[in-house]
Structure 1
Amino acid sequence: MKVGFIGVGFMGRHMARNILKGGHDLTVFDINKDAAEELLSLGATWAASPRAAAEASEVVFTSLPRPQDVEEVTTGEGGLMSGMSSGTAYFDLSTTDPSTIKRIAEAGNARGVQVLDAPVSGGTGGAEAATLCVMVGGDKDTYDKFKPVLDLIGDKAMYCGGLGSGAVSKIVNNLIGLSVGVLLSEAFTMGIKAGVDAQTLFEAVSGSSGNTTSMRSFPNGIFQRNFDPGFQVDLAAKDVGLATQLGRDLRVPMEMSNIAQQRYIDAQNKGWGRLAAGAVARVQEERSGVEIKPNE
């Protein structure tokens, strides 16, 4: 199958590599060509623009940081839609909002292109190992047709419903995970300041009802003061913001979510936007006067 892939950064390069390893003809584009060098060395073809990638493909995937990036790449000048033909399909793997994907779908419908939202969860490790959860919204027949390609990206591809359902599912997931990260920083600074070692707290909670996926990153992350970029604070602030905006649109109270969003904004304002999302804990550390790390 001829597959196009736009955006081969932290997540995209792994997903694109797995598609290529699956035996498909892959055409790639990124604003930074250097990011595609490994894929090109493995046999991928470089496209000069999103439109050129679309013209060479039966199905196109995008993995981009922000909703506005997705919209620009798809419907902007020289974008994907200008190069896609009737009967082809487009899947957005990014974390975006349902209103954005629905606007893109309007442009796709005019050209006979099926547009589906397909955000992924599982981090860069899941992207590399092809163990991502892929949450798909849109036409079911199109989902079924291209599921073999989705299965190369993740082992948990699932159909969530109509257009926008995947985006909503991912927003819910990220809101929970990122908000828990803020709560963990409060809980641990309280426990440490009360005299319990961070490692002891980690072991106690790991074996109890408070155990969470977010906390499992502590030993190699915050305990080691390791905030190397992966999923960045900037992206976390964006994702929680998508949730609070959707809540406002639907007139759903989002008090705790608004607090979590503000903590990520606080981290951005301290210049930590390009650090790993776990760096949000440093805001709480500064306020409480303790660090979340085991005793020497």
Structure 2
Amino acid sequence: MKRVGFIGLGLMGGPMARNVLKQGFPLTVYDVVRERVDVLVTVGAKSAASPKEVAQASDVVLTILPNSTDVEAVILGPGGVAEGGGAGLAVIEMSTIDPHVTTRVAAALAARGMRMLDAPVGRPSTFAESAELAFMVGGDVALLEELRPVLLAMGNTIFYCGESGMGATMKAVNNLLSITTLAVTSEALVLGAKAGLKTNVMLDVFRQTAASNAHLQMTYPGKALKGDFSPMFMVDLAHKDLSVALMLGASQQVPLALGAVAREMFTSARARGRGKLDWTAVITVLEDEAGVKVRNA
């Protein structure tokens, strides 16, 4: 059984690492927040003092980090994974980052005889807890098959998207659609409430017409419409992920007008101090402007 290292134990990474441990993989963990490491140590993981030490203790290293800068620093920087790993080490990079960074990191590891899959995750943190995540994978197919048991310790759906970087690209495109859809859903709900429609009527109609989407089925009813903004996926991360998509659009010369406007909605939410709240808190910005509460309509 492969020795697994896990770097990044936040809202997603913490439960993912716990599920790796539950499947019997020897696990070594690292996070800049010591308390997160301690939680995993109490259930059987070993701690490391640096990403380099994680790599030295592992056959495969998993990373899920906030942004591109963090990924490059943790994997390629001083005291990083590349310094600790030997030839043949496998890395599964699961962050939502610029695909160009993904391919650059993979190439740098390959030059050292190491291997990498990009496998960003789909579905929110509740699915991380239940090991029902989806993975969008880019890289060598043979490496995917070798590491499939590790991925299946954390999720139940694997999409092979193509060569290195295609997993990260798919994640950027997927999040563009998902986050923009959530933003326009909030506009529709606030407009309807302001105009006098009952929320339950809107949901009934939306769900049974072409307007239906997962945010109407789960995201809003499970969070904002209950007045619960504890984060499953933060406003800050939605803003960051749209920025990743917009950078990709610029690199491909594809205009993303709706994505740009949606990002401004999340910028407004952050400016009002709501960056650490659930992404559905973007609706509160519109509610403030309209003077209406959708959950009370």
Whether TM exceeds 0.5 here: the answer is: yes
Question: Which of 273, 276, 280 pairs up with 1:274?
Answer: 276
Structure 1 distance, partners of 2:220, 2:205, is 13
Q: Secondary structure at the match of 1:210?
A: coil
How far off its partner does 1:189 sit? Answer: 1.3
Deviations 1:63-108 (A, max 9, x none): 1111111111111110111111101110111111111111211220
Contact persistence 2:126–2:232 (CA under 8 A): no
- State the distance in 1 between where 2:78 and 2:181 align: 40
Structure-1 residue corresponding to 2:210: 209
**Maintained 8 Å contact 1:28/1:53:** yes
C-alpha distance after superposition, 1:137-195 (max 9, x if no partner): 01111111111111111100121110110001111111111101110111111111221
CA contact (8 A) 1:199 1:293 kept: no
For 1:245, what is the secondary structure of its paired residue?
Answer: helix
Asked if 2 retains the 8 angstrom alpha-carbon contact of 1:97 and 1:164, the reply is no
How far has the Cα of 1:109 moved from its partner?
1.4
Q: Secondary structure at the match of 2:164?
A: coil
Aligned CA RMSD, in angstroms, stands at 1.2
Contact 1:84/1:113 (<8 A) preserved: yes
Tell me the CA shift for residue 131 of structure 1: 0.9
Equivalence for 1:220 = 222
Aligned to 2:11: 10
Q: 2:184 aligned with 1:183, yes or no? A: yes
Deviation at 1:242, TM superposition (A): 0.6
Q: Indicate conservation of the 8 Å contact 1:199/1:294, yes or no.
A: no
Q: For the residues of structure 2 that align with 1:160 and 1:76, how far apart are their CA atoms?
A: 28
Amino acid in structure 2 at the alignment position of 1:168 = T
Partners in 2 of 1:37 and 1:211 — Cα distance?
Answer: 42
Partner of 1:68: 69
Q: Distance in 2 between matches of 1:219 and 1:147?
A: 34
Aligned to 2:85: 84
Identity %: 39
C-alpha separation in 2, matches of 1:134 and 1:56: 25
Paired residue for 2:287?
285
Structure 1: gaps of 5 or more residues: none
Q: Is the 8 A contact 1:4 1:28 kept in 2?
A: yes
Contact 1:6 1:62 in 2 (8 A): yes
Q: Distance in 2 between matches of 1:252 and 1:240?
A: 14
- The CA deviation at 1:200 is 2.0
The one-letter code of the counterpart of 2:256 is M
Instruction: For residue 53 of structure 1, report the CA deviation from its aligned partner.
Output: 0.3
Helix, strand or coil at the partner of 2:241: helix
**SS of residue matched to 2:222:** coil
Q: Tell me which residue corresponds to 2:28.
A: 27
Distance in 1 (alpha carbons) for counterparts of 2:291 and 2:115: 53
User: For 1:94 and 1:289, how far apart are their aligned partners in 2?
Assistant: 37
Shift of 1:254: 0.8
Q: TM-score normalised to the size of structure 2?
A: 0.96
Question: Is the Cα–Cα contact under 8 Å of residues 137 and 159 in structure 2 kept in the other structure?
Answer: yes
Distance 1:160 1:217 in 2: 26
**What TM-score does the superposition give when structure 1 sets the normalisation length?**
0.97
2:251 — aligned with what? 249
Task: Report how many aligned residue pairs link the two structures.
Answer: 295
Structure 2 unmatched runs, 5+ = none
- Residue 150 in 1 paired to residue 151 in 2? yes
Q: Which amino acid aligns with 2:143?
A: T
